[in-house]
Amino acid sequence: MPSDMRNLSEQVYNLIRRDILQGLLFPDMKLQIETVSERYQIGAVPVREALNRLSAEGLVERKSQRGFFVSPLKIEDLEELVRTRIWLETLALQESISHADEAWEEALVVSFHRLSRTSRRLMPGDGREASEEWDIRHKEFHMQLIDRCGSSWLLNFCATMMDQAARYRNISMNIHSSQARREGALAEHQAILDAVLAHDAPLACRLLGEHYQATLAALRAPLPDRPAK
């Protein structure tokens, strides 16, 4: 593929992926090549390449003879996702604490400060950019928690699961915005940070698991049915 075409494919991949994770492209929505191309003002060939790539990641489904669709969301899939995140991220967190150093702890404190500052500024009804910033800071904090686990494979798995979880969270927040949950999550992040800085791995891992379970409970509200487009 020519370099210009690769650049366009990468560009539209990032745009579609962002809109899926932000809940702007709704589950089961049909992604017609021509419509997507018009939406992002990018040609059909790089759009098709981007959709195939997103299909490999599980964010898009390619159905035989029917084309591309945004992957559906199911509560049982979210429950499995949360369960798997707890298994892997508590392992990664325990390893990170065992390899803690001053540089990692300082980076973790800075990451939490950025997240808390963004959380305090975020108000109900804020636009996409504010929500995107919170997602970025939130992922940065959770990835920093496990940064010293010593396994790039584990970090990549965890990053992928964080992105999948963000999609559920954003769609739920778009439907049932909950400032109380965001504020509660900030307190939970603070408690996790305090346990990590105290090198109390059992407490930190327990709090991380409870944090994900609390988020799961907040996302259990049924999503409304929407016709495929």
DSSP states along the chain: --HHHHHHHHHHHHHHHHHHHTTSS-TT-B--HHHHHHHHT--HHHHHHHHHHHHHHTSEEEETTTEEEEPP--HHHHHHHHHHHHHHHHHHHHHHHHT--HHHHHHHHHHHHHHHHHHHH--TT--HHHHHHHHHHHHHHHHHHTTTSS-HHHHHHHHHHHHHHHHHHHHHHHHS--HHHHHHHHHHHHHHHHHHHTT-HHHHHHHHHHHHHHHHHHT-SPPPP----
Q: Which residue has the higher pLDDT, 184 or 216?
A: 216
Q: What does the pLDDT read at residue 161?
A: 93
Q: Which residue has the higher pLDDT, 116 or 177?
A: 116
Q: What does the pLDDT read at residue 126?
A: 52
Q: Do 63 and 28 form a contact (C-beta atoms < 8 A)? A: no
Q: Which residue has the higher pLDDT, 225 or 209?
A: 209
pLDDT (tens digit per residue) in 74-88: 889 999 999 999 999
Residue 7 pLDDT grade (very low, low, confident, very high; cuts 50, 70, 90): confident
Q: Is the pLDDT of residue 120 over 90?
A: no
Decide: residue 156, CB within 10 A, 0-12 exposed, 13-18 middle, 19+ buried. Answer: exposed
Q: Do 56 and 150 form a contact (C-beta atoms < 8 A)? A: no
Residue 84 is encoded by which pair of tokens? 């798997």
| Range of 96-110, 125-139, 160-174 with top mean pLDDT | 96-110
> What is the distance between the alpha carbons of residues 189 and 114, in angstroms, rounded to a whole number?
12
Q: What is the mean pLDDT of residues 59-65?
A: 90
Q: Do 4 and 43 form a contact (C-beta atoms < 8 A)? A: no
Phi-psi region of 118 (alpha: psi -120 to 50; beta: other; left: phi over 0): alpha
Q: Is the pLDDT of residue 146 over 90?
A: yes
Residue 23 pLDDT grade (very low, low, confident, very high; cuts 50, 70, 90): confident
> What is the distance between the alpha carbons of residues 165 and 74, in angstroms, rounded to a whole number?
12
Residue 67 pLDDT grade (very low, low, confident, very high; cuts 50, 70, 90): very high
> What is the distance between the alpha carbons of residues 58 and 15, in angstroms, rounded to a whole number?
16
Q: Do 170 and 178 form a contact (C-beta atoms < 8 A)? A: no
Q: What does the pLDDT read at residue 224?
A: 47
Q: What does the pLDDT read at residue 202?
A: 98
Residue 205 is encoded by which pair of tokens? 């891992």
In the beta sheet, which residues pair with residue 30? 69
Q: What does the pLDDT read at residue 229?
A: 38
Residue 125 pLDDT grade (very low, low, confident, very high; cuts 50, 70, 90): low
Residue 96 CB-half CA count within 13 A: 30
Q: Is the pLDDT of residue 228 over 70?
A: no
